[in-house]
């Protein structure tokens, strides 16, 4: 269970790990010294009739050694926890950053409960590996050799017994460990599944209630919990079996040493003090090996969790053509000067852009070619699955093209830092996410540095101020997760207020008025008109009223742009756009 990836994580804090091991070796040497002093005291008192005064110095030394061992043990534990704390913090930060950089496309394909378990419980389980197993692994390799080196010159027979019986403990530990590793992996997988399913149930409780399936999930959770319980008990059974065997081997080996020494003492061929000293050292020879065996099971869960952690960290942050998508705060990422503040005449161009989300799937976009000029309002329309949202995700840098290029003026978009590029985009989705916090905090996501007065001004522009001040706590009204206290139209206007506060030259509106009642739609439409003034906008439209006033309409179907023009031109052509409008009687697209 010597995981190379985990060992590499120790490099920044290897000094603390060496300190931990050094303290362990120091404690072992103190134990040897204490055993020797104790054997001398016992020999002098019981065989030579020494008085308390004559052995007082030895007793004080033994007491001092006991105190010093306690101090070294404390230092060892503190330094070991320092190693674990640093590595857990570093791994958790990198894992969260990596998941964030992988973006919503990746997260939508995973179970959020399983990801949370990996980030929280998975990384916490590494504590035992770095505080107990790894230091003990090194101590188990060093301390028995030190003790053996002391014993052999004093008594080769005892040394031979230790040498022959010592390897039995790690051999049995390895044999049992193979079975334990399999069971521990099953336990971790069961925990991940249980956490993921429980979160799914909580998030979908409304749907389950509506369809009368909520009580069924109680039985499902009970079944999943029982599976986890059985997996845990299987691991515990193996751990207890392992402890029994290792204790039995250590006890029997110590007994062999005791019998060997006792027979020679009876025959008068061995010194009592030396025999007692060797007998006290025998258990200390096996102690590091026994402790390693008990810590082996504690470290297994960390190793199993680390496989999932490194599996996520190994996912590439690259496009299909190998351009690196740097972390958001990567200061070394290439940021063209012309993009730090978009020029007044910028142009976004899609040139032969194709997109396939996963290998083997049908292409979501095929050979897309169009340009979005500065100040232009372009609408994307088409049936569900036509590829409209995929274009928005490409512009937001949530995913990279499988083929073709996106240009900002004459520079490819993929050479620009994703974080820097998003500073120039405001995004209003169909279902904006509102976080558990106050209304003011949710609007301030647009620009966290803005004051409350500026937040209120943005809300007024978004036509949200009136309903906000209608709440008893106004802008300090606490919203539940997902903004459960707000209607769809109110939540949409909060998202528009964010966009007003962000105040960027480029807007992406992804069906921002769908699923709203006529009154809410009208208010949102008015807010969007104010928002788009003087800005470049890409509008993914569902309703005809949303896109009638667009400068240009791109009609998509099956990942291709089939038609483009303004509303009157497309209606005159009587193509796909005309059929869509006719089918829905001019009400929606």
**pLDDT tens figures, 304-327:** 888 888 888 888 875 433 334 444
What pLDDT does 351 receive? Answer: 92
Give CA separation, 164 vs 24, 98, 148, 167, 243, in Å: 24, 49, 11, 7, 20
What average pLDDT does the structure give for the chain? Answer: 83
Residue 60's pLDDT band, with cuts at 50, 70 and 90, is very high
Q: Give the DSSP H or E segment for 507.
A: strand 506-510
Which of the two residues, 530 and 342, has the higher pLDDT score? 530
Listed range (175-184, 284-293, 559-568) with the worst mean pLDDT:
175-184
In this prediction, residue 572 carries a pLDDT of 87
Q: What residue ranges define each of the domains in the chain, with the CATH number in brackets?
A: 91-313 (1.20.1560.10)
Tell the burial category of 153 from Cβ atoms under 10 Å away from its Cβ (0-12, 13-18, 19+). exposed
pLDDT band at 2 (very low <50, low <70, confident <90, very high): low
3-state secondary structure of 63: helix
pLDDT of residue 587: 47
CB proximity list for 118: less than 8 A, separation 6 or greater: 95, 192, 305, 308, 309, 312
pLDDT category at 514 given cuts 50, 70, 90 is low
Per-residue model confidence as pLDDT tens digits over 534-562: 889 998 876 666 677 788 999 998 889 99
Distance CA 63, CA 61 (A): 5
The confidence band for 334, taking pLDDT boundaries of 50, 70 and 90, is very low
Lowest model confidence (mean pLDDT) among 116-120, 252-256, 263-267, 294-298: 294-298
For 399, the token pair is: 């995913």
> Looking only at Cα atoms, what is the longest distance across the chain?
120
pLDDT of amino acid 333: 40
Share of the chain above pLDDT 90, in %: 15
Residue 294: band (very low, low, confident or very high) from pLDDT cuts 50, 70, 90: confident
Which pLDDT score, from 0 to 100, does residue 545 have? 64
Let me know: does 282 contact 249? Beta carbons within 8 Å: no
3-state secondary structure of 89: helix
H/E/C letters for each residue in 93-106? HHHHHHHHHHHHHH
pLDDT in tens, 124-164: 888 888 888 889 888 988 999 999 888 889 888 888 998 88
Give dist(CA 376, CA 566) in Å, integer: 12
Least confident of 262-266, 299-303, 581-585: 581-585
pLDDT higher for 174 or 551? 551
Which of 42-56, 61-75, 221-235, 378-392 reaches the highest mean pLDDT?
61-75
Return the exposure string of 323-360: e unless at least 16 CB atoms fall within 10 Å of the residue's CB, then b. eebbbeeeeebebeeebeebeeebebbbeebbbbeeee
The pLDDT of residue 432 is above 80:
yes
Q: For the residues 558-578, what does the mean pLDDT come to?
A: 88
């Amino acid at each position: 269970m010597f995981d190379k990836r985990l060992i590499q994580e120790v490099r920044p804090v290897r000094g603390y790990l060496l300190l931990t091991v050094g303290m362990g070796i120091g404690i072992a040497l103190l134990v040897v010294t204490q055993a020797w002093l104790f054997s001398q005291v016992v020999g002098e008192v019981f065989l030579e009739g020494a008085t308390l005064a004559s052995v007082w110095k030895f007793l004080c030394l033994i007491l001092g050694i006991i105190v010093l061992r306690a101090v070294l043990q404390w230092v060892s534990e503190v330094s070991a926890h320092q190693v674990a704390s640093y590595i857990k913090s570093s791994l958790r930060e990198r894992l969260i950053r990596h998941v964030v950089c992988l973006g919503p496309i990746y997260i939508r394909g995973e179970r959020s409960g399983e990801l949370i378990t990996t980030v929280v419980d998975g990384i916490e389980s590494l504590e035992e590996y770095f505080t107990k197993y790894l230091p003990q692994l090194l101590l188990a390799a060093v301390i028995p050799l030190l003790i053996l080196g002391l014993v052999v010159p004093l008594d080769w027979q005892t040394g031979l017994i230790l040498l022959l019986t010592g390897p039995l403990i790690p051999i049995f530990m390895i044999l049992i460990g193979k079975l334990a590793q399999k069971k521990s992996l099953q336990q971790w997988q069961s925990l991940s599944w249980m956490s993921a399913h429980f979160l799914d149930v909580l998030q979908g409780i409304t749907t389950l209630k509506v369809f009368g399936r909520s009580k069924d999930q109680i039985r499902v959770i009970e079944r999943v919990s029982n599976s986890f319980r059985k997996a845990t008990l299987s691991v515990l059974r193996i751990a207890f079996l392992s402890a029994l065997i290792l204790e039995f081997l250590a006890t029997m080996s110590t007994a062999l040493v005791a019998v060997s020494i006792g027979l020679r003492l009876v025959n008068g061929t061995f010194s009592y003090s030396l025999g007692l000293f060797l007998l006290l050292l025998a258990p200390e020879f096996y102690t590091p090996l026994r402790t390693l065996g008990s810590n082996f099971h504690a470290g297994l869960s960390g190793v199993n969790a680390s496989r999932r952690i490194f599996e996520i960290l190994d996912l590439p942050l690259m496009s299909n053509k190998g351009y690196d998508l740097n972390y958001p705060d990567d200061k070394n990422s290439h940021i063209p000067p012309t993009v730090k503040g978009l020029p007044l005449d910028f142009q976004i161009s899609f040139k032969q852009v194709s997109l396939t989300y996963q290998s083997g799937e049908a292409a979501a976009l095929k050979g897309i070619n169009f340009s979005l000029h500065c100040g232009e309002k372009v609408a994307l329309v088409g049936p569900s699955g036509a590829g409209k949202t995929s274009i928005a995700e490409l512009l937001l840098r949530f995913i990279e093209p499988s083929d073709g290029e996106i240009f900002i003026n004459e520079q490819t978009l993929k050479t620009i830092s994703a974080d820097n590029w998003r500073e120039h985009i405001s995004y209003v989705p169909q279902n904006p996410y509102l976080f558990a916090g106050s209304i003011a905090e949710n609007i301030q996501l647009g620009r966290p540095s803005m004051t409350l007065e500026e937040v209120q001004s943005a809300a007024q522009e978004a036509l949200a101020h009136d309903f906000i001040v209608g709440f008893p706590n106004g802008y300090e009204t606490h919203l539940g997760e997902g903004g459960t206290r707000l209607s769809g139209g109110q939540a949409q206007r909060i998202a528009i207020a964010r966009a007003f506060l962000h105040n960027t030259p480029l807007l992406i509106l992804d069906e921002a008025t769908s699923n709203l009642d006529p009154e809410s739609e009208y208010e949102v439409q008015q807010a969007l008109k104010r928002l788009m003034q003087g800005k470049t906008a890409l509008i993914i439209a569902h309703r005809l009223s949303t896109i009638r006033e667009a400068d240009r309409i791109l009609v998509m179907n099956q990942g291709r742009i089939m038609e483009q023009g303004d509303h009157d031109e497309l209606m005159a052509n009587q193509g796909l756009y005309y059929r869509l409008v006719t089918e829905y009687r001019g009400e929606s697209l």
